[in-house]
C-alpha cells in the first residue's frame, strides 16, 4: 500500500491564523478519499509542515521539513512509489524556474509521485517524459509565474524602503525607532533623565573607563537600562551609546546619506572626539624600532612620495628622560632640492585621524551592488523589528483591536520576506567583510597586535596633505574617507 505524505507550507503569521493549514490538510484527505483505487495511506509520523518559511529563496527546501523529506528520499528511507501531496507547485518552491524544476525532477527521479491538489495534476518521471513535453512546459509556466510574483513583491518592499529614506531629507521622521534618549513621537526632543545617562557614559569613557567598568558602575548605581527588554547594562549597550553619532544629532540612513541635526545634539564635539581615542597610544607607538600600523601605507598627497617617520627630542627632565615627539614627514621634503616644503605632523595625530575615518566606514554603504543591497535590507529589518515590538506592546494594552492585529500581521509578513532576502545576500561574496574592518581597527588600536597585517586588509592607501593638514583614507573597495588632522598639540603627542 503506497504511503502518501502531505506537505504544508505558509510564509506569514496571517496565513497561520487564517484558513491555510486547515485548507491544505483537507485537500490531502479529500484526494485520498476520491482515489480509493490508489490504496493510499496517509502518513502521520512525519510532521511535514513549514510555518513561516519562504520558498522564494530556498529556505524551506534546505532548513525546513521539506528539506528533511528531500534528504530522506535521497537516503532511500522513503520508498519509491510514495506520494507527496501539495496544494500547488509554489508550495514546493518559488525559486527561479530552473531551480524549482531541478527540485521537482530530483523527487520524481527517485520514484516519488508529486500531486498538486488544486488542479489534481500528477507529476511522475513517465508523465514528464511521455506527453510531448506538455507536463514539463505546464510546470515551468507555473514555476515562472510563482517566482515572478515573489520577485515583484520583494522589489516592491525594497522600493518602499528606499522612498522612506528619501523622505528624511524633507524633514519627515523616518520611523518611531529612535535612540532611547529621544522622544519616539517627536525626534526633535530629548528626555532629560535619559540624556543625563548618556552624558555620564561619555564622561566616564573620557576619564579612561572601559565598557565593562562603565556597565558595572551603572548597574551598581541601579541606572535604568536603555530598553524595557534589558535587565541591566552590558558592554555592548555601553559601546552602542559611545559609537552612536545620534548623540551628535546625526542620522545615517541606509542609502548612505548623513543627516545632520536630525536629532538634538546631547554631546559636545570635544567630548565625542576625546572618547574616540582612549588607549590609542601604546608601547609599540612609543618604540621607534617597532613596525607601526600605518607602515607602508602613508604617502604625500602632493607629490606621491612616501611619508616617513622622524623624531624630535625635547629638554632633559630631572629624572634624566626626554620628551620625544614622533612625526611623519614627506620623504621629498628632506632633501637639498625638496619638491615639497618640510612640514611635520605628529604621528599620533595622524593615527587618530585615520582611526576616525575608519570608524566612519561603517556609515558608508558598500561600493558593490550586493553589499549595498545587504546594507539596505539590514536597515529595513532593524526598523521593522522595532515597529513589530511596538505593535505587540500596543496589542497587549488593546487586545480587542483588529486593526492593530492586521497591521502586525502585515509587518510580520514583510519581516519574513526581508529576512529571506537577507539570508540570500549573505551567501554571496563581498570585496571584504565587516570582520576585516574590525581587524583593521584592532591593528590601529594596537590591541595585542605588533604588525599592520590586518590593517592592510582594509586600507589601500593613506594620502596625507602636510600643508593643509588633512588626509584621505582609501579602502580596498575604493571607498575614500577624508579627515582633518588636529592642529593643536596635546599630551598625547609626548611619549
Task: Give the pLDDT confidence of 121-149 residue by residue, as tens digits.
Answer: 899 988 888 776 777 777 787 777 766 77
The full set of domain ranges for the chain reads 3-152, 186-276, 283-360+435-493, 368-430
Which residue did the predictor score with more confidence, 398 or 180?
Answer: 180
109 against 390, higher pLDDT: 109
pLDDT of residue 355: 79
Q: How large is the C-alpha radius of gyration of the chain?
A: 31
Q: Strand pairing of 298-300 and 459-465?
A: parallel
pLDDT at position 368 is 58
Which of 325, 200, 206 has the alpha carbon at shortest distance from 277?
206
- Provide the pLDDT for residue 212: 81
Q: Which pLDDT value is given to residue 192?
A: 94
- The answer to whether domain 3-152 and domain 186-276 are alike in fold is no
Give the per-residue pLDDT at 337: 56
Considering only residues 62 and 207, tell me which one the structure prediction assigns the higher pLDDT: 207
Check whether domain 186-276 has CATH 3.40.50.1980, yes or no: no
Pick 306 or 165 by higher pLDDT. 306
Report residue 451's pLDDT band, with 50, 70 and 90 as the boundaries: very low
Could you give the percent of the chain with pLDDT greater than 90?
Answer: 13
DSSP 142-184: HHHHHHHHHHHHHHHHHHHHHHHHHHHTTT----S---TTB-T
Exposure of 129 in the CB half-sphere (CA atoms within 13 A): 6
The strand pairing partners of 113, in sequence order, are 83
Q: Which residue has the cell 549597550?
A: 237
pLDDT attached to residue 431: 43
pLDDT-derived band at 194, boundaries 50, 70, 90: very high
Average per-residue pLDDT for the chain: 75
Q: Which CATH superfamily is domain 3-152 in?
A: Resolvase, N-terminal catalytic domain (3.40.50.1390)
Amino acid at each position: 500500500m503506497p504511503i502518501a505524505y502531505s506537505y504544508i507550507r505558509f510564509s506569514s503569521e496571517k496565513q497561520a491564523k487564517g484558513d491555510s493549514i486547515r485548507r491544505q490538510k483537507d485537500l490531502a484527505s479529500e484526494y485520498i478519499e476520491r482515489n480509493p483505487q490508489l490504496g493510499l495511506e496517509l502518513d502521520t509520523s512525519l510532521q511535514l509542515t513549514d510555518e513561516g518559511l519562504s520558498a522564494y529563496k530556498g529556505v524551506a527546501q534546505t532548513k525546513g521539513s521539506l528539506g528533511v523529506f528531500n534528504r530522506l528520499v535521497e537516503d532511500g528511507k522513503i520508498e519509491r512509489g510514495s506520494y507527496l501531496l501539495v496544494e500547488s507547485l509554489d508550495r514546493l518552491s518559488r525559486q527561479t524556474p530552473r531551480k524549482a524544476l531541478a527540485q521537482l525532477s530530483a523527487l520524481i527521479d527517485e520514484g516519488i509521485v508529486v500531486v498538486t491538489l488544486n488542479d489534481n495534476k500528477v507529476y511522475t518521471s513517465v508523465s514528464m517524459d511521455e506527453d510531448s513535453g506538455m507536463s514539463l512546459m505546464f510546470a515551468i509556466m507555473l514555476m515562472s509565474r510563482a517566482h515572478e510574483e515573489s520577485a515583484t513583491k520583494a522589489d516592491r518592499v525594497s522600493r518602499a524602503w528606499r522612498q522612506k529614506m528619501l523622505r528624511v531629507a524633507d524633514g519627515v521622521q523616518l520611523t518611531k525607532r529612535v535612540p532611547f534618549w529621544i522622544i519616539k513621537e517627536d525626534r526633535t526632543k530629548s528626555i532629560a533623565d535619559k540624556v543625563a545617562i548618556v552624558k555620564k557614559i561619555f564622561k566616564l569613557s573620557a576619564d579612561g573607563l572601559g565598557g565593562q567598568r562603565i556597565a558595572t558602575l551603572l548597574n551598581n548605581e541601579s541606572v535604568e537600562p536603555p530598553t524595557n527588554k534589558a535587565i541591566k547594562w552590558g558592554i555592548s549597550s555601553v559601546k552602542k551609546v559611545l559609537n552612536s553619532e545620534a548623540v551628535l544629532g546625526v542620522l545615517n540612513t541606509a542609502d548612505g546619506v548623513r543627516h545632520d541635526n536630525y536629532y538634538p545634539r546631547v554631546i559636545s564635539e570635544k567630548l565625542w572626539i576625546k572618547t574616540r581615542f582612549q588607549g590609542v597610544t601604546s608601547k609599540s607607538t612609543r618604540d621607534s624600532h617597532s613596525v607601526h600600523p600605518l607602515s607602508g601605507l602613508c604617502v604625500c598627497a602632493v607629490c606621491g612620495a612616501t611619508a616617513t617617520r622622524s623624531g624630535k627630542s625635547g629638554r632633559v627632565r630631572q629624572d634624566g628622560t626626554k620628551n620625544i615627539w614622533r612625526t611623519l614627514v614627506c620623504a621629498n621634503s628632506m632633501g637639498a632640492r625638496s619638491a615639497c616644503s618640510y612640514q611635520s605632523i605628529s604621528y599620533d595625530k595622524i593615527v587618530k585621524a585615520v582611526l576616525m575615518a575608519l570608524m566612519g566606514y561603517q556609515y558608508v554603504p558598500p561600493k558593490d551592488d550586493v553589499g549595498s543591497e545587504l546594507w539596505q535590507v539590514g536597515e529595513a529589518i532593524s526598523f521593522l523589528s522595532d515597529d513589530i515590538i511596538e505593535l505587540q506592546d500596543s496589542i497587549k494594552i488593546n487586545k480587542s483591536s483588529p486593526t492593530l492585529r492586521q497591521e502586525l500581521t502585515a509587518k510580520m509578513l514583510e519581516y519574513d520576506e526581508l529576512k529571506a532576502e537577507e539570508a540570500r545576500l549573505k551567501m554571496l561574496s563581498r570585496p571584504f567583510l565587516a570582520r576585516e574592518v574590525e581587524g583593521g581597527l584592532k591593528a590601529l588600536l594596537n590591541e595585542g597586535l605588533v604588525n599592520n597585517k590586518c590593517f592592510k586588509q582594509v586600507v589601500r592607501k593613506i594620502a596625507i596633505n602636510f600643508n593643509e593638514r588633512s588626509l584621505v583614507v582609501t579602502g580596498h573597495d575604493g571607498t575614500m574617507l577624508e579627515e582633518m588632522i588636529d592642529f593643536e598639540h596635546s599630551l598625547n603627542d609626548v611619549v
